[in-house]
Structure 1
Amino acid sequence: MKSHAGIFHILPLGERVQKKLENLIDKYMSQLGASKVSLSSISSQALWQQTNRLEGYGQELFRFADRKDVPYILAPTHEEEITTLVAKTVKSYKSLPLRLYQIGRKYRDEIRPRHGVLRSREFVMKDLYTFDHSLQSALKTYEEARAVYSRLFDELKLPYLVAEASSGDIGGDLSHEYHLPSSIGEDNVISCTDCSYVSNEELATARPIPFQGQSSADGNDAKSSGTQAKVWRGISKDRKTLINVWYPASFADTDINTYALKSVLPGLDSSLEDALPLWQSTLNSSSVSVNDQQPQLLNVVDYRLGQDFANDLKNEPSRFPMLPQQSPVESSLLDAQYITSSTSGEPFNTIRIYDGDHCPRCTSGQLRVQKAIELGHTFHLGTKYSDALGARVQVPPTMIEDNKDLSTESDSTANVSMQMGCHGIGISRIIGAVADHLADDRGLNWPRAIAPFEVVIIPGRNMEDDAATISRALTESSNVFQPIDLALDDRAESFPWKLKDADLIGYPVIVVLGRKWTSDRLCEVQCRRLGLTEFVPLDHLQEHVNKLLSQL
């Protein structure tokens, strides 16, 4: 239930869903050999300054000071705190690998909370932190964590996607996201129709194909080598670099892929709709001379325009609108640079990925773009935090050089930074995403693993004793079937009301004692998710219900 904007209370049935999800996570973290901890929600701003993340997070941090004016934050994540804790307690490689996780509340001052618990200011999250003595060991841990995540999401029986991802503010150079396709998702996930390629929009690429430019009457067109082009303009965060993106006139400015641009200019300010006023301000306030640091002009050329266009742009810049009209500075006075290929050497694609683009991994597949909700994220952090916060261990040099077995020791040791990993799962977000994904016009529809109750029994009038008999039949101990988490609706409400309420709550299986029970001693078993309604005798009820639950 909503308390304030982006802040929610969890009611009894919701608490049962959350607790079941937490228990499920506990089970899989145990398989990974992880130990559970509980870190404070309050973190020191000084620690975040040591890792250079305090300003990077910007206004999303909830900041406050105590009565002594010591600055703190409500933690949105705990890399700094867990690294400091481990740095104080672990000194030898013999204590590694170390895997610690917690389930707790996190805080983020969202500028626009939306979609309920999917984008809120207070949320529950599981975060696992791993510590290893070497890169090879850390990468092995990373793959083990990914395998555990896959088994966990498999048990939820959701159509999830695992996408190659950017590490963003967290850090590191290896990352994967776990997504649930959804029309209300805020992320775009790109996947191939024929191979296993899946990537988020920030990293996704498409295989270049021949392209014929089309004509346009747009005033920003530039004509060269028989091809017409448009120019999109952006600016760097320090306002010192104007970016001209040259692309085919058949596309629009909204087609520009700012993620691709950031791969060559990480300082691009992609939040601006119109960069020109800021650029004009930079030029007006700058003294452009030989001795001063000049504003720069970066020209990025889409591969579709061809090499002839790129050559003309570089060799005859006066033919093109390199700068906005009435610019106070001539383009010849600026330090101009030209980019025609990506950092990997591939032809530069400035246009975002669309359905039907060609897969970069295989020759036959086409790309599909899906809206999705991010449920989990795994990061290999490397030594970003351990370097900054002094999390180091003593390791025999021979073990580093030759990668020998951990039992091998030498007389001398080397002091190395721990290799770290971070693996998060949004518990609040999973609850909201699953509720949205499986709901229909009659109500919620929980998967067995996290349903508040797996089965509800709804008896007709004066059937309380019969309902108790059904409950015992379903929950009696058995070497064949798992125990069933069951609810008996004995509230003093009408029979139709209780049936409707059961659909709203979303029990996986509903057992109804109605007319068929009175006449033929048959239970009506409903499973809305499977689209089944069947009449089952009491002696087959436990087997039948368990068979349904195994599919949910």
Structure 2
Amino acid sequence: MLPRSIPRLSKVWIPSGGFAVPGVEDAHSKLVRAGFLRQSHAGIFHMLPLGKRVQDKVERLVAKHLEESLAASRVSLSSISSEALWERSGRLQNIAPELFRFPDRKGSAYLLSPTHEEEITNLVAQTVRSYKDLPLRLYQITRKFRDELRPRHGLLRGREFTMKDLYTFDTDLRSALDTYEQVRAAYSRIFNDMKLPVLAAKASSGDMGGDLSHEYHLPSPFGEDSVITCGSCDYTINEEIATTKVAHETCQADHVGVWRAITKDRSTLVNVWYPTRTSKAGTSEGRQYTNSDINIYAIKSLVPDLDAGVSDATELWAAATEGPDATAKRLVNLFDSRLPPSFSDSLEGTASLPMWPDAVKTGASRLDVQCHGSSTSDGKPLNFLRIRTGDHCPQCSSGTLNVQKAMELGHTFHLGTRYSDPLNAKISLPPPSSSEAKTSTGDSGTSKTVSMQMGCHGIGISRVIGAVAEHLADDKGLNWPVAIAPYTCIVVFAEDNYDDAVEVYKRILSGSGDQDERLDIILDDRQKSLPWKLKDADLIGVPVIVVLGREWRMTGRVEVQCRRLNIKDIVDVDNLPSVIAELHSRL
């Protein structure tokens, strides 16, 4: 019998196998088949022992860097928040459709928090009064809730998820921006420890507020975001706010297409006119475009209330312009800068086709028709087409852009006083020194009260698990980085080699010392055949496999396998610790 103190897979609940493999198996299906998780409801999952081990390791890694690099203190905020608090911040109505909301027995309105800016700000506002209590860094790792309309991709877009939030509070803007850069550096170290090629892309702050934010993306063809990078400079940006130098291309009048849209309140109808084919001056080079190339983000910068979820607005146009309940009030024409100038001139002030789709010709004359020029107010040419690989970088003179799909793992925001103002999170600053008071007109030399400068910085813990699984999985199974693998090494053996496996286990541990501090080894003592165990170890994604097989019986040596590095070596037992440590350092 194996000693009870030795980790053994027979003592871990791993409901692996038993699931038919579909024609194309994605990483989420592998997580389910390997026994990491199970779905309980749409977009909601139970973490099983293997999944919980991975989650715990991600959490410990993140916590280590936050506490060591930023001296952050860990808190645990309630998952329940009051709607009244969200009304004070002004966010309740903006994201109401995504909230799980409920009343208590007294009729008070509550919600399950998708994020905790309101709660943490209110907590600090009630506790911190003086500049002497700042800077303050508070973080939590907790479950969040978001009523996703279409949960998909398993852990990548669920309705319940685990998230790390770090909230920072500083006395002034300069200190807050310094903190922001410290957090960015800590994030780099976190993802470097996982050996993930994460891109830090400048991003939109959206409903969070503030004017500075970065997203942290793992490139993947399965990603829902697009990240733009330059091959010659450090330009890295989310597609939502990316720009490009509009190429010196021309378009003939008969190579023009229109993309139609409508605003959420159905009051504004939008025509976006764009080139369907372009050519470079003096050359035969050119590109073709269709409606799928339309850059929704560029249009929303001019029409913020655009209903981007409507793929075909023609039927809505008809309803919005006809009948006594018609809501349409105006039509806006937007022109890409590559169109011939005469094209926009021919449309101004008319209601002739092709400005109007057939469905809304009747009643169209009642609308206020507006035409937007082909450049912004500051003279920049308008580009309503999505950036493509090979476009010119707007930041440097020689670089070209690369567009790649990516999965978001984290986001950092400088919030400023977005929440501290409405929630009254203020501190008293000391009076200026006598010399400062003399040079400051009207300064009485008394202390003053200011709003705290805030930052919010998140990492999706469960999203990291799903994204890493997707990023590294192959046709045989999962592939975990050593830093977050459920086990970093597994000893696989036939049933009659129990005692030998124990000795190999002890030799690995005794020879490792401090050279492999992340070593997390387990024996597969399950009553299964050796081929079955090897296949299951590949499915689970253990980085290093030590096999006591034919070579062990013949020569007393073991086989070391590392699928990710394409390694299968025969190794003396005395050399095992150093061999495993070297492999771990590369994974």
Give the direction of change, closer, same or farther, for the CA distance of 1:266–1:173 in structure 2 (3 Å limit): same
Contact 1:263–1:343 (8 Å) recurs in 2: no
Which residue, out of 375, 380, 391, partners 2:425? 391
1:84-233 alignment runs, 5 A limit: 84-214=122-252, 223=253, 228-233=255-260
| Structure 1 range deviating more: 161-170 or 331-340 | 331-340
Contact 1:322 1:331 in 2 (8 A): no
Matched, 1:22 2:49: no
RMSD value over aligned CA atoms?
A: 2.6
Deviation (angstroms), 1:279:
4.3
Match of 2:577 in 1: 542
Name which of structure 1's ranges 492-501 and 273-282 shifts more when overlaid on structure 2: 273-282
Partners of 1:512 and 1:23 in 2: CA distance: 30
Q: CA deviation at 1:283?
A: 4.2
Per the TM alignment, residue 311 of structure 1 is displaced from its structure 2 partner at its CA by 4.8
Which whole-Å CA distance do the structure 2 matches of 1:39 and 1:51 have between them?
A: 18
Q: Give the match for residue 235 of structure 1.
A: 262
Larger deviation, residues 243-252 vs 170-179 = 243-252
The AA in structure 2 aligned to 1:446 is W
Q: Which moved more, 1:7-16 or 1:50-59?
A: 50-59
Measured in 2, the distance between the counterparts of 1:255 and 1:331 equals: 30
Alignment match, 1:256: 294
Percent identity of equivalent pairs: 55
2:491 maps to what in 1? 457
Q: TM-score, normalised by structure 2?
A: 0.85
Do the aligned residues in 2 keep the contact of 1:474 with 1:484 (CA within 8 Å)?
A: no
* 2: CA distance, partners of 1:133 / 1:390: 14
Which residue of 1 is the match for residue 27 of structure 2?
none
Q: Which residue of 1 aligns with 2:387?
A: 353
Distance 2:228 2:383 in 1: 16
Question: Cα gap change, 1:379/1:415 in structure 2, threshold over 3 Å: closer, same or farther?
Answer: same
The reply to whether residue 514 of structure 1 matches residue 549 of structure 2 is yes
Partner of 1:11: 48
- Find the aligned partners of 2:73 and 2:325 in 1 and give their Cα distance: 59
Q: Does residue 497 in structure 1 map to residue 524 in structure 2?
A: no
Q: Aligned partners of 1:332, 1:209: CA distance in 2, in Å?
A: 38
- Give the Cα separation in 2 of the matches to 1:439 and 1:54: 39
2:69 matched to 1:38? no
Alpha-carbon separation, structure 2, partners of 1:281 and 1:518: 79
Q: Using the alignment, how far apart are the partners of 1:424 and 1:546 within structure 2?
A: 32
Gapped regions of structure 1 (runs ≥ 5): 215-222, 404-408
C-alpha displacement of 1:102: 0.4
Q: Is the 8 A contact 1:294 1:335 kept in 2?
A: no
Tell me, yes or no, if the aligned pair for 1:452 and 1:507 is still in contact at 8 Å: yes
Q: Is the 8 A contact 2:268 2:328 kept in 1?
A: no
Contact 1:175 1:380 in 2 (8 A): yes
Cα distance in 2 for partners of 1:394, 1:344 equals 41
The change in CA–CA distance for 1:475 and 1:410 in structure 2 (over 3 A counts) is: farther
Q: Distance in 1 between matches of 2:576 and 2:543?
A: 15
The secondary structure found in structure 2 opposite 1:368 is strand
Q: Does 1:527 align with 2:566?
A: no
Once the 2 structures are TM-superposed, how far is the Cα of residue 542 of structure 1 from its aligned partner?
A: 0.7
1:286-365 correspondence to structure 2 within 5 Å: 295-314=329-348, 317=350, 321-325=354-358, 327-329=361-363, 334=368, 336-342=370-376, 345-365=379-399
Find the aligned partners of 2:154 and 2:389 in 1 and give their Cα distance.
29
Shift of 1:121: 1.0
Deviations 1:163-195 (A, max 9, x none): 111111211111111111122211112222332
Change (3 A) 1:263 1:344: farther
DSSP 3-state at the match of 1:503: helix
**8 Å contact from structure 1 (residues 398, 410) kept in 2:** no
Cα distance change on mapping 1:14 and 1:535 into 2, 3 Å: same
Aligned to 1:444: 478
Deviations 1:461-517 (Å, cap 9, x if unpaired)?
432222222212221262544252110112222222211111111111111112222
Distance 2:44 2:487 in 1: 25
Shift of 1:26: 0.7
Whole-angstrom CA distance in 1 between matches of 2:484 and 2:383: 43
Alignment of 1:63-74 (within 5 A): 63-74=101-112
- The runs of 5 or more residues in structure 2 that have no matched partner are 1-37, 278-288, 438-442
Give the aligned partner of residue 400 of structure 2. 366
Alpha-carbon spacing, 1:82–1:278, altered in 2? closer, same or farther (3 Å):
same
1:431 Cα deviation (Å)? 0.5
Distance 2:471 2:66 in 1: 25
Deviates more, 1:493-502 or 1:525-534: 493-502
SS at match of 2:184: helix
Cα deviation for residue 96 of structure 1 reads 1.2
Cα-to-partner distance string for 1:25-70 (whole Å, 9 max, x where unaligned): 0111111111110001111111111122212113221111111111
Quick one: distance in 2 between partners of 1:495 and 1:278?
63
Relative distance call for 1:97 and 1:38 in structure 2 (3 A) is same
Question: Do residues 431 (structure 1) and 471 (structure 2) align?
Answer: no
Partner Cα distance (2:44, 2:157) in 1: 10
Structure 1 residue 332: Cα displacement: 8.8
Counterpart residue number, 1:217: none
Change (3 A) 1:254 1:374: same
TM-score (norm 1): 0.90
Distance 1:537 1:228, change over 3 A: closer
The answer to whether the 8 A contact 1:104-1:125 is kept is yes
The residue type paired with residue 4 of structure 1 is: H
In structure 1, C-alpha distance between the alignment counterparts of 2:390 and 2:577, rounded to whole Å = 48
Amino acid at match of 2:470: D
Partners of 1:376 and 1:344 in 2: CA distance = 33
Conservation of the 8 A alpha-carbon contact between 1:91 and 1:392: yes
Deviation sequence 1:87-119 (CA, Å, 0-9, x none)? 100111111111111001011111221111111
Return the offset for 1:312: 5.0
Aligned to 1:275: 313
Question: Structure 1: how far apart are the matches of 2:369 and 2:549?
Answer: 83
Q: Using a 3 Å threshold, how does the CA distance of structure 1 residues 364 and 319 change in structure 2: closer, same or farther?
A: farther
Aligned residue-pair number:
530
Contact 2:81 2:119 in 1 (8 A): yes
Counterpart amino acid of residue 418 in structure 1: M
Secondary structure of the 1:420 match is strand
